[in-house]
Chain A
Amino acid sequence: MLLIVLLAVSIPMAVEAQGPGDEPTRVLVLYENDPMLPAAMEVAEGISAGLHENGPAKLEVFSDYMDIIRFDDPAHLLLVTRYLEEKYRDVSLNVVMAAGPGALKFVLTHRSLFGEKTPIVFGAVTDKTAAAMALPLDVKGVISHFDVRKTMDLALKLQPDATEILVMTGSAEFDKGWQVSAREALADSYAGIRVRYVSGLSIDGFKAEAAKLPSTTIILIPTLFEDADGRRFVPREAIEMIAQSSSVPIYAVYSSHLGTGIIGGFVGTFHSIGTEMGELASRVLKGDLSTPQLSLVKDGPLIDWRQIIRWGIDPKRVPADAEIRYRELSAWERYRDEVIAATLVFFTLVSTIIILTFQHRRRLRLEAELKLERLELAYLSRSTQLGELSGAMAHELNQPLTSILANAEAGSLLLEGDPIDLLELREIMKDIILDNKRAATVITQLRRLLLKGETSLERMDLNQAVTTTIALARSELLARRTEVDVILDLPDVPVRANLPQLQQVILNLVLNAADAMDHLHFSKRQIAIVTRRRQNGLCELTVTDHGSGVSAQQRVEVFKPFVSTKKSGLGLGLAICRSIAKAHGGTLEFDENFDEGARVIFTLPSA
């Protein structure tokens, strides 16, 4: 992290040309520990963040680690002093930052090494330590207040049933100092709870001790640099070992201990110490004299959520303002957005499928309806007209028939009379003839009715009539798997015709042709429609099929009304078609010379 920071700082400097007025701001950060100490690393990160937030644009940061906690003999210190002296002899520093009391002491004592007037900014020093030092006015710092009491308050909030507090400290001088501080803060009883102090044990001894405690105990481990056996530790690692086998929650006062298995504490993080140091340094560099000499680092409850779960502590007991770490979000919490997105996609998918299914069904239904309509259209000459025929016919013909019958019967009776009333008989005959003629008129009128009103002729293209009619019957033909070949000899064949009637004829002929081939295999179901113009000017439309054909006698019979070769046929189609043909001034005939099926020839004059 620091490496990246240094790189970032040096790159802009390399790019810009260094003129005499372009001197970068030089900062030295001196740590009393070694660089791998987590606390030191956090401070370093914080300092970098704080410096770059509001700091000068061109910065050059130097970091040196004194490591005087591990190497606490005077010889080492001497070595370090000489090293630093040599290193910074020719370097003009703008500010010196000291992290930790050891570093601060050194800097104050050997101020001349870094320039007597160079301002000093320190941090990671407790309020007590700072108070015990005589600080010149140009030495400003961020002091930490390790609040053992507030940590215990937090512990009691989380473990209200606690009956004992156990404070564990190591054998190093630093550790011993902490035991003293703890005793000062907590004494033998805090908030009505007994406090016990344990030290002088080996690491295994601490582990054993922690493992056998009743559940109503609170353990506080401020620091453990060395155990009774002289074994040296990074306190974090020592605490981690103890926490693994501990039977009760362990609390700490250093934020850097979080993550080892301790539950937490009331702390200021080292990171925030670093950032506040960095910000303070920035202000000092700007020449801001308004900052107070000592400012307290922000602190608050810090909790490892995994421990809350491990010890079965009611989450509601955790203070609302606590900083929570290691909270394993459930799949829902972690991937909430993804889950929502996925669910939405899923539902969209499902609803799309449902909608499409319904649309498909609807379309099928519509298609079926359409097909039905087309079928009905195709059978126009049968359904509607037949309906009309039966109704009208029945009634209209019934009337003259009734009177004919009554008259005849009366006549029969009269013939029995003596004498026979010849006058009356003559009248009867007249009336019968009259009624017969009436009946004949009815038939004629009916025929006209069948042709749907008057036959009004207009100029049109026979080819077009054919193509539009075939389009109408398409679905029907498709269903019957019958192919239709339309051969149009000329680009257009003008005729004078009545379109609906013309269509009726074409439809009728085509459907008859299809019917004739019902028994054949699909591949053989082919209808050929040909339009041409004869030399004599007549226009011709032929419909050919490959069915069983029509015998000579049938050719005459089929044009008679009520004669049908089909079981369910009514035998009106061709009769009507011929009437239409005649009405157009044309003819409708079978081709006698064709014997590979049936061919019907419809002629009509050209326009």
Chain B
Amino acid sequence: MSIVSATTAPTVHLVDDDLQILKSLKRLLGTAGHQVQEHRSAEEFLESHDASQPGCAILDVGLPGMDGFGIQEALGSANTSVPIIFLTGCENVPAIVRAMKAGAMDFLAKPVDAAVLLAAVSEALRTDAEKRRTSDQKRIAAERIASLTPREREVLGGVVAGLLNKQIAAELGTVEKTVKVHRGRMMEKMCVRTVADLVRLSSLAES
């Protein structure tokens, strides 16, 4: 499993069938400092999409073939959480509601104001980074717990429950000294120094 480094730059994915729009938006976002990937159709986007990479997607609602909502659904069912910003040529309240309920980040009307677009993109990328961080942490926590021996896991359970070493020892049917040893190793493997951090990690892994 690849470990995502915080240094990988997020990519803004543009999906629109209009070449001029793709070109101009890429230009705008690029000038503003973003990495942009353009796609001419929904299918092309979905095919090339790597959910492990950070980023967000700007989708034109009115695409031929599968439209923007279709992409949203496809992504949703694949359980990937790419933040989506919709771009539309006409304001259709039911469509907006539908999109928002399905979890879209934003819904913008064409022609779109640069400031508005850039703000939305920043928000989207921040959210994406946030989510990734959380899921990474979750994964790490799970990994760390998985690396524990059964005994160490038991000790973890006891510490998280707030028991004293003495009590843990009694429960496990061993001596306090042994418990101390296990505890030390466990904390090391978990890469935490305080019990509070341990609890946080452990609950993260379980959620």
Instruction: Tell me, yes or no, whether A binds B.
Output: yes
Contact with B along A187-204 (1 / 0, CB 8 A): 000000000000000000
Using a Cβ–Cβ cut-off of 8 Å, how many residues does chain B contribute to the interface with A?
20
* In the complex, chain B residues 63-92 whose Cβ is within 8 Å of any chain A Cβ: 87, 89-90
Docked CA distance A438–B113 (Å): 20
| Residue of A401, A409, A414, A431 with highest tally of chain B CB at under 10 A | A409
Contact B31 A404 (CB under 8 A): no
Return the CB mask of A422-435 against B: 1 if under 8 Å, else 0.
00100010010011
On chain A, which size bracket covers the interface?
A: 20 to 34
Give the complex CA separation of A428 and B30 in angstroms: 13
Cross-interface CB contact of A407 among B24, B30, B87, B90, cutoff 8 Å: B24
* Least CB separation from A395: chain B residue: B89
Contact A413 B28 (CB under 8 A): yes
Interface presence of B27 (CB below 8 A): yes
In Å, the complex CA distance between A428 and B112 comes to 17
Smallest CB separation, A423 vs chain B (Å): 12
Q: Across the two chains, which residue of chain A brings its CB closest to B27?
A: A410
With A410-B28, A414-B31, A428-B27 as given contacts, are A398 and B20 in contact (CB-CB < 8 Å)?
A: no
Question: Quick check: is A394 within 8 A (CB to CB) of the other chain?
Answer: yes
Q: Does A573 contact B (CB under 8 A)?
A: no
The listed residue (A402, A409, A413, A434) touching B21 by CB distance below 8 A is A402
Residues of chain A within 8 A of B31, CB atoms compared: 410, 413-414, 417, 424
Q: Is A399 an interface residue (CB 8 A)?
A: yes
A399 touches B110 (CB 8 A): yes
The CA-CA distance from A404 to B25 in the complex, in Å, is 10
Convert A369-407 into 0s and 1s, putting 1 for each residue whose CB lies closer than 8 angstroms to a CB of B.
Answer: 000000000000000000000000011001111111111
Task: For A406, give its contact among B28, B62, B89 (CB under 8 Å).
Answer: B28
Measured in the bound complex, the distance between the Cα atoms of B20 and A431 in whole Å is: 8
Contact A403 B89 (CB under 8 A): no
Closest to B88 in A: A398
In contact, A399 and B27 (Cβ under 8 angstroms): no
A492: shortest Cβ distance to chain B, in Å? 49
A518 to B137 CA separation, bound complex (whole angstroms): 77
Which of B21, B87, B113 has most A Cβ within 10 Å? B21
Contacts of A401 in B (CB 8 A): 110-111
- Whether B24 lies near A406 (C-beta < 8 A) is yes
Nearest 4 pairs between A and B by C-beta?
A: A409-B114, A406-B24, A403-B20, A403-B24
Query: What are 9 of the A-B contact pairs (CB < 8 Å)?
Result: A395-B89, A399-B110, A402-B24, A402-B87, A402-B111, A406-B111, A407-B24, A409-B114, A410-B31
